[in-house]
Amino acid sequence: MSISTPGGPQRRPTVVSTGKKPAGGRPAAADKTAGGKAGAGKGAPRQSSGGKGRKPITPVKVSQGRSWGPIALFAAVGVLTVAIIGFAAFSAFQGSKPWEKRAADISGVTDYREKDPELVKGSQHQQGTVKYTITPPVAGAHNPAWQNCMGDVYDAPIANEHAVHSLEHGAVWITYRPDLPADQVATLKAKVEGKEKLFMSPYEGLDKPIALQAWGYQLKVDKADDKRIDEFIKTLRVNASIEGPTALCDRGVTATGTTPRDMGNQMGDQTQG
Amino acid sequence: MTAPTTTADAPDETAVADDGTGRAVRRFGVLALAAAVVVGLLLGYAGGLLTPQLTRPGDSSAEAGFARDMTSHHSQAVGMGLLAFQQGTDPEVRQIGVDIATGQQGEIGIMQTWLRSWGLDPAGSEPVMAWMPDGAKLVKNGLMPGMATPQEMSALESAQGRAFDVMFLNMMIRHHLGGVHMIDGVLDASDDPEVTRVAQTMKNTQQTDLANLQAALTRLGG
């Protein structure tokens, strides 16, 4: 077996395979060439090679087949290979589309990085109340202490000044109108609890029932089962952080109340408030 | 068996070589060979470029699930450890606390770097623990095995003195036991050398921690 296969001209095995199929393991390779040639269209004479009486006609056909058969085969295999690799490349490229692009693709999202780059850049610490132009705020100066964002579910409004600091750390902040039906609040809660870099709180005076904030991004939706909520979280949680994925969400302010707590008493005294 | 066909085919070959088309064919053969070499090289190059992308862990892989969930799990231990460093009374409790906090924060960085190098988001689309067989059953209110509830965390924050130390040790022991269970999950599921190496290191560290936490608990009469 090993003697005949290595140098054997292509022609030989083709007949071996058509004439007799169950020929050990090695001829499988030869079988392939046979199949390929037959598939190329000009294999007809070979298939009928049992009837050798037709030999006078075959030479003409075969000589044509030699040039065009392989070309067609080669082209077909080439096109197929390129198509497969192209498709793989395309899907790989799609999958690794940068998050900024995917964020822009979420319908209804407001991208303040584009609208107001200056706001999104700034991240100064500031004691006391900070005035924000966007409600709820998505960026800007903020309190030195961040709101705890370890999947915290706050049942009362919290201070913007702490929450914005959490956004800077990469958290997504889900806010909802206090009159949002309880079952929808529960749906939001299930997305948040136990996951760091996420927190939620009711928010007075929202123009839509639910508003999602990440650093520099906002999305307002009507219902808790809106698919874009998951898209927003998936795309922007941590990614939107300007401080990278290792910024802290724990050891922040855990108390509620919309008045920011000054550094010095907020960490130690927060359990009283 | 093969002999007759060789003779049958051989005349064809000579017949072709004899006329002008034979040269064309041979010339074409050289060109085709050159083209085949070029195309082959290009395909090889494309394959080489694509292979790391296609073989690296995907969005719903156990590796990605582990990296994401263990980041969440670790981040709570970081919070607890920092609290122990700040609020603990026993020197060893404070020491263990800061050691766990910095160590696990570093590991969060490693896992987040994996995700980035795999072209994946820090946030997944799958439910928590879905990467582990029966993992979903272990999740309660979004909390993975061993994680403290928000109520337990605020109880720890309000505790003082020896009560704090004992509570911290108990909570961290439970946290580590849950963590080791998840590490075992990825060690079973993954054969990625980097992931399993880091996971094994995590397991060793947490098992050493467990021994020390338990000894401290015994010493404090917890």
Note the pLDDT tens digit of each residue in A78-113: 898 888 878 777 766 666 689 999 999 999 999 999
Give A195's contacts in chain B (Cβ within 8 Å): 72, 128, 142
Determine the distance from the C-alpha atom of residue A83 to the mean position of all C-alpha atoms in its chain, rounded to a whole number. 23
**Inter-residue contact B156 to B83 (CB < 8 Å):** yes
pLDDT value, residue A58: 56
CB contact under 8 Å between B5 and A49, yes or no, is: yes
Cross-chain residue pair A92–B108, CB shorter than 8 Å:
no
What pLDDT score does A57 carry?
60
Using a CB-CB cut-off of 8 Å, the residues of chain B touching A12 are 2, 5-6
Question: Which residues on neighbouring strands pair with residue A172, listed in sequence order?
Answer: A198
Segment A168-182 mean pLDDT: 97
Question: Is the CB of residue A61 less than 8 Å away from at least one CB of chain B?
Answer: no
The alpha carbon dihedral of B10, B12, B18, B20 has a sign of negative
Model pLDDT for residues A66-80, shown as the tens digit of each residue? 678 888 888 888 898
Angle formed by the axes of helices B91-117 and B62-87, to 10°?
150
* Average model confidence (pLDDT) across chain A: 80
Nearest to A12 among B5, B12, B54 (CB): B5
The residue among B41, B55, B72 with the most chain A CBs within 10 A of its CB, best to mutate, is B72
pLDDT digits (tens, 9 = 90+) for B120-151: 999 999 999 999 998 999 999 999 999 999 99
pLDDT at A90: 75
Rg, Å, chain A Cα set: 34
The nearest alpha carbon in chain B to A269 belongs to B158
Q: Is A251 an interface residue toward B (CB < 8 Å)? A: yes
**Touching check for A37 and chain B: CB below 8 Å?**
no
Q: Is the ipTM of this complex over 0.85?
A: no
**Cα–Cα dist A179/A159, whole Å:** 19
pLDDT given at position B80: 98
- pLDDT band with cut points at 50, 70 and 90 for residue B205: very high
Average pLDDT over residues B83-97: 97
Q: Do B97 and B82 meet the contact criterion of CB atoms below 8 Å apart?
A: yes
Residue position matching structure tokens 């780059």: A117
A89–B8 C-beta distance less than 8 A: no
Confidence at A263, pLDDT banded by 50, 70, 90: low
What are the CA-CA distances from residue A182 to residues A189, A193, A255, B68, B136 (Å)?
Answer: 10, 16, 22, 29, 25
Q: State pLDDT tens for residues A3-46.
A: 444 444 444 444 444 444 444 444 444 444 444 444 444 444 44
Q: Check CB contact under 8 Å for B16 and A63.
A: yes
B8, pLDDT greater than 80:
no
Which residue on chain A is closest to B117 by alpha carbon? Answer: A96
Chain B: residue nearest A267 by CA? B157
- In chain A, residues with a C-beta closer than 8 Å to the C-beta of B139 are 194
Q: Is A116 exposed, middle or buried (0-12, 13-18, 19+ CB in 10 A)?
A: middle
- Tell me the average pLDDT across A170-198: 97
pLDDT at A257 over 90: yes
Three-state helix/strand/coil letters over chain A? CCCCCCCCCCHHHHHHHHHCCCCCCCHHHHHHHHHHHHHCCCCHHHHCCCCHHHCCCHHHHHHHHHHHHHHHHHHHHHHHHHHHHHHHHHHHHHHCCCHHHHHHHCCCCEEHHHHCHHHHHCCCECCCCCCCCCCCCCCCCECCCCECCEEEECCCCECHHHHHHHHHCCCEEEEECCCCCHHHHHHHHHHHCCCCCEEEEECCCCCCCEEEEECCEEEEECCCCCHHHHHHHHHHCCCCCCCCCCCCCCCCECCCECCCCCCCCHHHHCCCC
Give the per-residue pLDDT at A13.
46
Residue given tokens 């075969």 in the structure block: A62
Half-sphere exposure of B110 (CA within 13 A, CB side): 18
Burial of residue B191 (CB within 10 Å: 0-12, 13-18, 19+) is exposed
Q: Does B5 touch chain A (CB under 8 A)?
A: yes
CB spacing of B53 vs A58 below 8 angstroms: no
The two tokens of residue B186 are 């990825």
Q: Parallel, antiparallel, or unpaired: how do β-strands A150-153 and A210-214 relate?
A: unpaired
How far is A32 from B199, CA to CA, in rounded Å? 45
Tokens of A251: 């050891």
